[in-house]
Amino acid sequence: AAVVPGIVKPLPDAWFTARGTNAETRFEALAGTGHHTPVDRFFVRNHTSTPVLDASDWSLTIWGDGLRGGRSVELTLDDLKRLPAVTRSAVVECAGNGRSFFTTQQGQTVSGTAWTLGAIGSARWHGVRLGDVLRRAGLGRGAVDVMPRGLDADYVTADGTNLGRVRRPLPLSKALDDVLLAYGMNGEPLPPDHGAPVRVLVPSWIGIASVKWVGDIEVSAEPLFSPWNTDFYRLFGPAHPEGGGAPLTRQTLKSAFELPWNASLEAAAEHRLTGRSWSGAGTVARVEVSTDGGGTWHRARLHDTPRRADWVRWSAPWRPAAPGAYTLLARATDTTGRVQPETTVHNTQGYLFDAVVRHPVRVV
């Protein structure tokens, strides 16, 4: 396939905070929109830059010793579109979403993109089940791992090490469970920034699992490794196992207000605070809001039926009596019983921040 590097969507200032080829959604840009993030406001996280691939020239190669007889199978986009199609709603969220709060809220040093809370988006993904594709390719009995790989450029780290193309192994059990090969997003063909013509969509798992611009998938009878499950996307630091924790899989629990940082709100007026909460385990069971920095909590009203791997919209009324500086908090509980904590245990790469974020506003 022809790869044209260096083409990135222009990022409207009003919606994104652009950081190189990474762009995060401003949560206030979601106020009043529907459940799904409009494609032009959906965060972008690229290791290099968006390649523009010709769909008619694209094919997917499935290969490896985990296929029967060690064969390899090639599928075009038309081949994929002949398989039974499915549509599902799910978020994609970067494992580092919320990373900046390790520093600003907990005074800790972490490496990586300093996202606030906008490295997440929810979309309706349209495509085929990875399991259908793998079974048709002829899964061998001994297959254990699959590793999708992107067609974007090699990732070269700041110190000049070439880590090759973005790829990350997935246990076969997850691959056969709910993973999609998506070619549509919110009713449109998948756009270039989100992996056109086809991306992997791994519900509930950290964003890196959802490999964009997928070009090949290795199916292996042995466990697979890549820098994205050895050097990155594990918890490192004094509070974690020596040499790092297990490769990260599920996302954590978070909440965000659809309000600008330091928003101005009128005193003695009725406001409707809105936001979204999500969890990588179970579904969101309850969201509470505090307008006095955590002294008292009020149950927010949920505006979506909570579903796995997706966020829920919520609202809470607030009538601030007096002008001044206030701290708003939103705290979610999921059906596994987890509650967002006051602090997140530090890890050096700043993954899975789940503490309640202290959102400052001014009442004027």
User: With CB under 6 A as the contact rule, which of the stretches 71-79, 138-146, 203-211, 276-284 interacts with ligand MTE?
Assistant: 203-211
Among 207, 244, 306, 320, binds ligand MTE (CB under 6 A): 207
Asked whether position 45 contacts Mo ion by CB under 5 A, the answer is: yes
Residue indicated by tokens 């998938």:
217
Residues 205-234 that bind Mo ion (CB under 5 A): 207-208
Question: What count of other Cβ atoms lies within 10 Å of the Cβ of residue 77?
Answer: 18
Among 16, 27, 43, 257, binds ligand MTE (CB under 6 A): 43
The beta-carbon contacts of 40-43 under 8 Å, at least 24 apart in sequence, are 40/9, 40/12, 40/15, 41/15, 41/16, 41/121, 42/121, 42/123, 42/193, 42/194, 43/16, 43/94, 43/118, 43/119, 43/120, 43/121
Among 24, 28, 152, 334, binds ligand MTE (CB under 6 A): 152
* Least distance between ligand MTE and beta carbon 261 (Å): 21
Length of the chain: 364
* Least distance between ligand MTE and beta carbon 165 (Å): 7
* Least distance between ligand MTE and beta carbon 327 (Å): 28
Residue 212 interacts, among ligand MTE, Mo ion, none and using kind-specific CB cut-offs from 5 to 8 Å, with ligand MTE
* Least distance between ligand MTE and beta carbon 233 (Å): 9
Tokens of 112: 């990586």
| Cβ–Cβ < 8 Å for 268, 252 | no
Q: CA-to-CA distance for 338 and 355, rounded, in angstroms?
A: 11
Residue 43 interacts, among Mo ion, ligand MTE, none and using kind-specific CB cut-offs from 5 to 8 Å, with ligand MTE
Asked whether position 244 contacts Mo ion by CB under 5 A, the answer is: no
Backbone angles phi, psi at 84, to 5 degrees: -55, 130
What phi-psi label fits residue 131: left (phi over 0), alpha (psi between -120 and 50 degrees) or beta? alpha
Give, for 263, the enclosing helix (H) or strand (E): strand 263-265
Asked whether position 9 contacts ligand MTE by CB under 6 A, the answer is: no
Distance of CA 110 to the CA centre of its chain: 19
* Least distance between ligand MTE and beta carbon 182 (Å): 10
Residue 31's nearest CA partner among 309, 290, 257, 307 is 257
Site string for ligand MTE, 93-132 (x = CB under 6 A): -x--------------------------x-----------
Of 24 and 178, the one with the shorter C-beta distance to ligand MTE is 24
Q: CA-to-CA distance for 330 and 345, rounded, in angstroms?
A: 19
Give alpha helix (H) positions in the chain.
Answer: 77-81, 100-104, 130-137, 172-177, 227-230
Site string for ligand MTE, 50-89 (x = CB under 6 A): ----------------------------------------
* Least distance between Mo ion and beta carbon 92 (Å): 9
Task: Report how many residues bind ligand MTE under the rule CB under 6 A.
Answer: 19
Asked whether position 350 contacts Mo ion by CB under 5 A, the answer is: no
Which residues of this chain interact with ligand MTE, rule CB under 6 A? 42-47, 92, 94, 121, 150, 152, 166, 194, 207-208, 210-213
Which residues of this chain interact with Mo ion, rule CB under 5 A? 45, 94, 207-208
